[in-house]
A and B are shown apart, each in its own frame.
Chain A
Amino acid sequence: MLKNKYFLAAGVLLLAVIAVVVIIFMPRHTDQQAREGIQIETWSLKNGARVYYVAATQLPMVDVRVVFNAGAARDDGKPGLARMTNELLDHGAGDWNTEQVLERFDSVGAQFSSSAHRDMAVVQLRSLVDKPLLTVAMDTMAAILKTPRFEPAELERERQRTLVGLQNQRESPEQLAELAFYSAVYEQHPYATPVLGTEESVTAFKRDDIINFYKNYYVGANALVVIVGDVNRSRAEALAEQVAGGLPAGQAAALLPEVPAAHASKLIKEEHPSTQTHVWLGQPGMTRSDADYFPLYVGNHILGGSGFGSRIVDQIREGKGLAYSSYSYFMPMQRKGPLLLALQTRNDQAEQALQMLREILTKFIAEGPTAEELQHAKKNITGGFPLRIDSNKDILEQVAMIGFYNMPLDYLQTFNKKVESVTREQIMDAYRRRVTPQNMVTVMVGKFEATEPKK
């Protein structure tokens, strides 16, 4: 298989931004669909699980993703619990122990993975649609969701691995910055929880904690099944039933509390033996269904969301050579996900770069984008539409987003029109109301001793 671990991209920058943007915004798929948007079919299972399905017949494969409203925001005082539960699902299920589960997937060339984020817990399968192969893969996935064993020995091993993972996290100034940022921005709100947990919490997990979490959240009422691939509607119905139909109905997770508005400016400096300082600047931003979504999104495209050509990259990287990667984004979530502006630069330049980031933001709020910038951003966003719906993988991302956040089914069809209709005034108005530079969290992780700016 093709491996290309060893290359450098000129702009991680751009890739970085694309990665984020793709997850958040981008659609994808087949020819006429590309023009009209994706045709999503939806239905529900008896236990309340919602199913979103898109036929994509060009390749003999299918992606099946089940998303639960069971991310780290549900940790409830036990940081890392959502992630540990999600991680342990495939460590033995039904009649099969861990080795058997893994071998069953590999033996049919299926790719199975699971992950936990702040809002979501995800379980995902990619398989060929050839019946004997898909049957093995789907039987295994169904067992994983319905009858995970959560054996004590498996928990113990995963606990030990996670503890090393937590140690390892402390090597990375970027990851330290992220931890400090979420903690300071969200304080007592569930989004403050560290997804991987803490040494204290991970050490303390009991098997019952895992089982209870699973029983509460891995239920029909809390599940979304997304199917994209070369299966017709009736086969899709059968797959959905097979993978999620056996879950008890249960209850949908309660609404998360609102994120309180940012109320003070905070500066957190963490000493780290690195040559660069990672600078993260931000505050609570917007929700996925935010009334200001489009003005904030299009505005951010100009501010720092589109790589080269955006103000942050133009001034910090192109203008001053201060950073390789610098960007801003809103991460829309169930409740207000963060607005973030970030960069990393040589320790002695950190104050200067931070100052620039702040000035760029302040000026943007005060003056808004120019008419030319706005026109350019619209051309980029709308002109790139076909590009965003051109693979099964991206269709899956889009549909899962639409389903999980209960966006309208014509979200993709109306996306360009909504982008087009954003005015300069709306952007200025939205940024003035929603972004408060005087109440920002600033995180700096780097080496501060003896690195006063050289002038």
Chain B
Amino acid sequence: MQWRLMSLLLMLAPVTNLVAADNSVDEFQLKNGLKLLVKQDHRAPVVVSQIWYKVGSAYEHDGITGLSHVLEHMMFKGTERFGPGQFNRIISENGGQDNAFTSHDYTAYFQMLEKSRLSVSFEMEADRMRNLMLANPKFSEKSAEEFKKELEVVKEERRMRTEDNPRALTSEQFNSVAYSNSSYKHPIIGWMSDLDVMSVDDLRQWYQRWYAPNNATLVVVGDVQPKEVYALAEKYFGAIAPQPIQAVKPRTEIPQIGLREMHVRAPAQVPYLLMGYKTPVLKTLKKEDQWEAYALEVLAGVLGGSRTSRLDRILVRDKQIAVSTDVEYNMGSWQADMLLIDATPANGKTVDEVRQAVGEQVTALKNELIKPDELDRIKAQVVAHDVYQKDSSFYQGMELGIYETVGLGYKQAAEYLPRVRAVTAEQVQQVARKYLNEDQLTVAILDPQKVTIRARPRALNSEHHH
């Protein structure tokens, strides 16, 4: 099967005389259920290949948190054909770069290569879809040894990202309080106590359960011809048998019926405020209600995320009670999510004062319509961003992969621009009234526990971080 999606941009009346960038995607489905999406980008003779599995930390439950992510690490530990480390090595020898990432909603592996080397990636990616060493009893000893080491690497990763980062620690504990029963309450990397008891068997079962062609989407973006990519995918992935995929129970978050407040007391220097309102996302809304997600997206942009948005303008520059603010809303989540607001108080101001001021801005969104110029600015940014993002084939692939993997379908990615542009001030007010309510709010406060540092830190600076 194959059909072509016409560029939606062509149907718009853009605020600018943009050349309609080619947004078309070719879609194929292999008999074993593997979906292939190809987007052509002929700007340079390169290709990005990403394989997206429908599994992530949100598929996990108590006691096995972090499993998807550890498995992602173990996917580099070899198959019978390509031993431990060979995947990286062969990609590297071909001048490529490869890596992987795990989220709540997906696990994805990618390679970036000169275009003629795509088969190198397909061959090995297909091989490790079912033939991982850890699933083969022949290599149980070797796998146990590799697992033991890799688990330590993941624990170091957890220490680096979370344990020693007071804001990440706050965010992790915040999620565990804000959600009652949604699997979003667990950290992607897993609780340390779950990592401590993880076994190769757990990984084997997880791998066999989810890594199958009918649970994956292959996304290819670059200087390629779709039919050739399809033939290549057939050649390497076509023979892999589909597996019965047993879906996880939904664990739909129960309604929150009252404000939740929490404190994190950790070694830190600066206090920090994190607030989250429970919100629907595209996936949890009925088709006819999906405008709400786009309206929440605009609302998030009015409130934060750019230097002209309200929190920065009013809290940081005008009242000077915060030194930084941010707002985040992730409409492409698989499960109901939150609209997050965070802020760092200015010196001499308290977290409570900042919280109060944020509250005033939230109230203002409910009481008054946003101004036309605010709405126009958001839309202008969205239109421009749609062009800018085409400078990155990796990003284009990610967009398709996420939409497809969470079950929205990649075609919905192309709706983003027109749907955001259609949002009205009234709609923003409506979603503000409907969702930004204190009974569905969780507030976390980081209370810095200052420790005396004996050796006074020398000069303070910052350069590029890597």
Q: A167-B270, A179-B459 are in contact. Are A384 and B149 (CB under 8 A)?
A: no
A-binding segment of B96-104, B129-137, B244-252: B96-104
Task: Say yes or no: is B46 at the interface (Cβ < 8 Å to chain A).
Answer: yes
Q: Are A321 and B153 in contact (CB under 8 A)?
A: yes
Q: Are A109 and B383 in contact (CB under 8 A)?
A: yes
B383, closest chain A residue (CB): A109
A329, closest chain B residue (CB): B466
Contacts of A379 in B (CB 8 A): 92-95
Contacts of A319 in B (CB 8 A): 149
Q: Are A269 and B308 in contact (CB under 8 A)?
A: no
Question: Residues of B with Cβ closer than 8 Å to A?
Answer: 16-19, 21, 42-46, 69, 72-73, 75-76, 84-85, 88-89, 92-104, 112-115, 117, 148-157, 159-161, 163-166, 188-189, 223, 267-270, 297, 306-308, 313, 316-317, 320, 323-324, 328-330, 332, 344, 346-347, 373, 376-377, 380-385, 387-393, 395, 398-399, 402, 416, 451, 453-455, 457-466
Q: Are A393 and B392 in contact (CB under 8 A)?
A: yes
Give 1 or 0 for each of A373-385: 1 = CB within 8 Å of chain B CB: 0001001111111
Q: Are A14 and B344 in contact (CB under 8 A)?
A: no
Q: Are B317 and A58 in contact (CB under 8 A)?
A: no
A157, closest chain B residue (CB): B320
Q: A194-B461, A321-B151 are in contact. Are A59 and B320 (CB under 8 A)?
A: no
CB of B225, distance to nearest CB on chain A (Å)? 15
The 6 closest A-B pairs by CB, nearest first: A383-B95, A194-B461, A109-B384, A321-B152, A390-B44, A321-B149
CB of B152, distance to nearest CB on chain A (Å)? 3
Secondary structure at the B interface, as helix, strand, loop or mixed, is: mixed
Q: Are B323 and A10 in contact (CB under 8 A)?
A: no
Q: How far is the CA of A176 from the CA of B460 in the complex (A)?
A: 8
Q: How far is the CA of A209 from the CA of B436 in the complex (A)?
A: 45
Q: Are B461 and A387 in contact (CB under 8 A)?
A: no
Q: Are B402 and A98 in contact (CB under 8 A)?
A: no
Q: Are A118 and B270 in contact (CB under 8 A)?
A: no
**Of A10, A160, A168, A170, which one neighbours B320 at CB under 8 angstroms?**
A160
Q: Are A61 and B457 in contact (CB under 8 A)?
A: no
Give 1 or 0 for each of A335-354: 1 = CB within 8 Å of chain B CB: 00000000011100000000
Task: Say yes or no: is A455 at the interface (Cβ < 8 Å to chain B).
Answer: no
Q: Are B43 and A390 in contact (CB under 8 A)?
A: yes
Q: Are B308 and A103 in contact (CB under 8 A)?
A: yes
Give 1 or 0 for each of A179-216: 1 = CB within 8 Å of chain B CB: 11011000000001111111100000000000000000
Q: Are B323 and A2 in contact (CB under 8 A)?
A: no
Interface size band for A: 35 or more
Q: Are A9 and B100 in contact (CB under 8 A)?
A: yes
Contacts of B332 in A (CB 8 A): 2-3
Task: Say yes or no: is A318 at the interface (Cβ < 8 Å to chain B).
Answer: yes
Q: How far is the CA of A184 from the CA of B153 in the complex (A)?
A: 30
Q: How far is the CA of A391 from the CA of B45 in the complex (A)?
A: 11
Contacts of B453 in A (CB 8 A): 170, 270-272
Contacts of A1 in B (CB 8 A): 297, 382, 385, 416
CB of B47, distance to nearest CB on chain A (Å)? 9
| Sampled A-B contacts (21; CB under 8 Å) | A2-B398, A4-B103, A8-B161, A19-B466, A58-B43, A109-B382, A109-B383, A109-B385, A128-B18, A164-B270, A171-B269, A178-B462, A179-B459, A196-B462, A197-B461, A274-B163, A274-B267, A323-B153, A344-B156, A383-B93, A390-B43
Q: Are A160 and B323 in contact (CB under 8 A)?
A: yes
Task: Say yes or no: is A454 at the interface (Cβ < 8 Å to chain B).
Answer: no
Contacts of A232 in B (CB 8 A): none
With a 10 A CB-CB cut-off, give which of A14, A130, A323, A392 has the most chain B CB atoms: A130
Q: Are A117 and B463 in contact (CB under 8 A)?
A: yes
Q: Are B384 and A110 in contact (CB under 8 A)?
A: yes
Task: Say yes or no: is A173 at the interface (Cβ < 8 Å to chain B).
Answer: yes
Q: Are B103 and A6 in contact (CB under 8 A)?
A: yes
Q: A109-B385, A387-B96 are in contact. Are A8 and B461 (CB under 8 A)?
A: no
Contacts of A28 in B (CB 8 A): 44
Q: A102-B307, A157-B317 are in contact. Are A325 and B160 (CB under 8 A)?
A: yes
Q: A9-B99, A273-B267 are in contact. Are A106 and B16 (CB under 8 A)?
A: no
Q: Are A179 and B45 in contact (CB under 8 A)?
A: no
B100, closest chain A residue (CB): A10
With a 10 A CB-CB cut-off, give which of A164, A179, A325 has the most chain B CB atoms: A164
Q: How far is the CA of A106 from the CA of B385 in the complex (A)?
A: 11
Q: A7-B103, A29-B44 are in contact. Are A345 and B156 (CB under 8 A)?
A: yes
**Of B18, B161, B324, B457, which one neighbours A130 at CB under 8 angstroms?**
B18
Task: Say yes or no: is A422 at the interface (Cβ < 8 Å to chain B).
Answer: no
With a 10 A CB-CB cut-off, give which of B17, B306, B398 has the most chain A CB atoms: B17
Task: Say yes or no: is A54 at the interface (Cβ < 8 Å to chain B).
Answer: no
Task: Say yes or no: is A11 at the interface (Cβ < 8 Å to chain B).
Answer: yes
Q: A14-B99, A106-B308 are in contact. Are A2 and B402 (CB under 8 A)?
A: yes
- 18 other A-B residue contacts (CB within 8 Å) besides A31-B42, A98-B317, A180-B458: A4-B398, A8-B188, A19-B466, A31-B43, A60-B21, A106-B306, A157-B317, A197-B461, A275-B163, A276-B160, A318-B84, A379-B92, A383-B114, A384-B95, A386-B95, A387-B97, A391-B43, A391-B44
Contacts of A276 in B (CB 8 A): 156, 159-160, 163-164
Task: Say yes or no: is A79 at the interface (Cβ < 8 Å to chain B).
Answer: yes
CB of B325, distance to nearest CB on chain A (Å)? 12
Q: Are A169 and B462 in contact (CB under 8 A)?
A: yes
CB of B354, distance to nearest CB on chain A (Å)? 12
B-binding segment of A143-151, A302-310, A426-434: A302-310
CB of B408, distance to nearest CB on chain A (Å)? 12
Contacts of A389 in B (CB 8 A): 44
CB of B247, distance to nearest CB on chain A (Å)? 22
A445, closest chain B residue (CB): B457
Q: Are B308 and A20 in contact (CB under 8 A)?
A: no
Q: Are A273 and B188 in contact (CB under 8 A)?
A: no
Task: Say yes or no: is A408 at the interface (Cβ < 8 Å to chain B).
Answer: no
Contacts of B103 in A (CB 8 A): 4, 6-8
Task: Say yes or no: is A252 at the interface (Cβ < 8 Å to chain B).
Answer: no
**Of A15, A127, A160, A391, which one neighbours B99 at CB under 8 angstroms?**
A15
Give 1 or 0 for each of A47-73: 1 = CB within 8 Å of chain B CB: 000000000001111000000000010
Q: How far is the CA of A1 from the CA of B419 in the complex (A)?
A: 12
